Amino acid sequence: MRFGLMVGGHMSRIPVTGYIETARDLEARGFDTMWIPHVFGHDAITMAALVGAATERIELGTAVVPTYPRHPTAIAQQAVTAAAASSGRFTLGIGLSHPTVIENMVGLSYARRASHMREYMAVLGPLLRGEPAKFAGDEYQVDMTVEVADPQPCPVVLAALGERMLEIAGRETAGTLLWMTGFRAIEEHIVPKLTAAAREAGRPSPRVISGMHIVLTSDPDAANARMQAMLDQYQLMPSYRAMIDREGSMTPADFAIVGDEKTLDAGLARLEDIGVTDFDANILEVEEGSRERTLDYLASRCGG
């Protein structure tokens, strides 16, 4: 299993230099990946390009860029630029987002989700491969090519929780990037459906990137109380609520890895056993020094 870190987000307020410094630190510690959220601050693809040009080894990815507000030809040009800037170390993470963002904040329709994503990938996929995109659908009509002088591979992962999104992810992308998805849902729902779709399409085994909170702490009660508050918030979003329902409980231990080293070892081993290929750590800071301790712990597992 590969190890990465989620860096940034709506409440982080990290400057551009902070992302670059963090990426260099993670690279030096041996981390495989750094995932950059795309919320209401810096543009994640642009940030990945900047960070990629300033680093040498670490993979950069977006977690995740909403598709509705951005035309697939535009995101393709941004993505191939980030891939070139990072010498092929960029992975484009995309997703539908949520009705509260797309409808209430941006003022766009959130309807036709599966057909929207199928059309989106019909345009985006060829362009990222350096091929012409010739497509006429209900939402997009495209006839163009994106060509750069320094092309690099640019894989796509799709945030997929529902069955139709998992089918699209398996058939059309390199895998999925998950958030607020517990152990049971990953094992019984995500991995089987995603893997079956990839197999039927003749594609390689998909990446399953689990974004999950983790903290090495002597005060698990405080961390679990924070996780409970997050679960209460996320269950208001239909896609996350469906994952919570699949888990059969709202116990923080089902959605996070919290405690001493033995507990963290067991949680990470379980993720690997149920088919997770990449761990995308979001470190909960619940006491002084807990972030650095957790970083050191994860770094010691990199490459193992």
Confidence of residue 243 (pLDDT cuts 50, 70, 90): confident
pLDDT(240) > 90? no
Domain boundaries, the chain: 2-301
Average pLDDT, the chain: 94
Closest by CA to 73, choosing from 24, 160, 170, 139, is 139
Tokens 């995109």 map to which residue?
133
DSSP labels for 124-154?
HHHHHTT--EEEE-SS-EEEE----SS----
pLDDT at 94: 98
pLDDT 10s digits, 128-137: 999 999 999 9
**Integer Cα distance of 179 and 235 in angstroms:** 12
| pLDDT per residue as tens digits for the range 244-301 | 888 887 788 889 999 999 999 999 999 999 999 999 999 988 888 899 999 999 999 9
Percent of the chain residues topping a pLDDT of 70: 99
Which of 3.80.10.10, 3.20.20.30, 1.10.3720.10, 2.60.120.10 would CATH assign to domain 2-301? 3.20.20.30
Asked if residues 200 and 171 have their Cβ atoms less than 8 Å apart, the reply is yes
Q: Which residue has the tokens 């970083």?
A: 295
Judge whether residue 304 has pLDDT over 60: no
pLDDT at 185 over 80: yes
